[in-house]
Structure 1
Amino acid sequence: MRQPTSGSMTPAETQFAEALVSLVDYTGRVLLTGLADSSPYYVEDKAGTLAVVAGRVADLAGEAARGRGSTRIRMDVVARAVAAWSQTYTAGRLLFPRQDRRPETGR
């Protein structure tokens, strides 16, 4: 995954951003793919993983909020990373549309 252009990220920021990208990925898998395919088995499988990922995000956010860990998390840097790294996922493109990208069409 590429780093955001403005400065380097700390390991804690990278870890938090990666967890948030996983959250975007699995949310999209459940809502976009699972519902479109009408597959309760797929939804069950991915929703379980989504719950684990959401728990990880909550743990990392809690550590940051309580000041645990060695560094402060700069949320603006994390937000830029999540927006950039989420572009490979349909849900990421919908949540974080890029200005230089033309809207997707069904054609």
Structure 2
Amino acid sequence: MTQPWTVAGDGLRLTVRLTPRGGRDAIDGVETLADGRPVLKARVRVAPSDGEANAALLALLARELELPRSAVTLVAGATARLKTVALAGEAQLLQSRLRTRFAPG
């Protein structure tokens, strides 16, 4: 399975499928969509109003990946379920953290 991230000049770009009002804040692992694209599945407690779900997602990713909140930004999909998140930092370290915590196998 391919991974839901790509290396960018300043870190990684991560594709996330977000479920708002998911009952808890959690990362549920990597999933392959029907079109074959891999995504990181995430859920947050809050509703998708006034950007609250996006903010909760960014805070969750920062906490899970041990990054400062300022290193995690939403770059696409503000009103969509599929989102692209930029992770600033050293790409190899970020990939290692993602693989260790969320990759299957």
- Give the TM-score, by structure 1 length: 0.24
- Give the TM-score, by structure 2 length: 0.24
Relative to total residues, which structure has the larger helix share, 1 or 2?
1
Relative to total residues, which structure has the larger strand share, 1 or 2?
2
Structure with larger RCO (C-alpha < 8 A, sep 6+) = 1
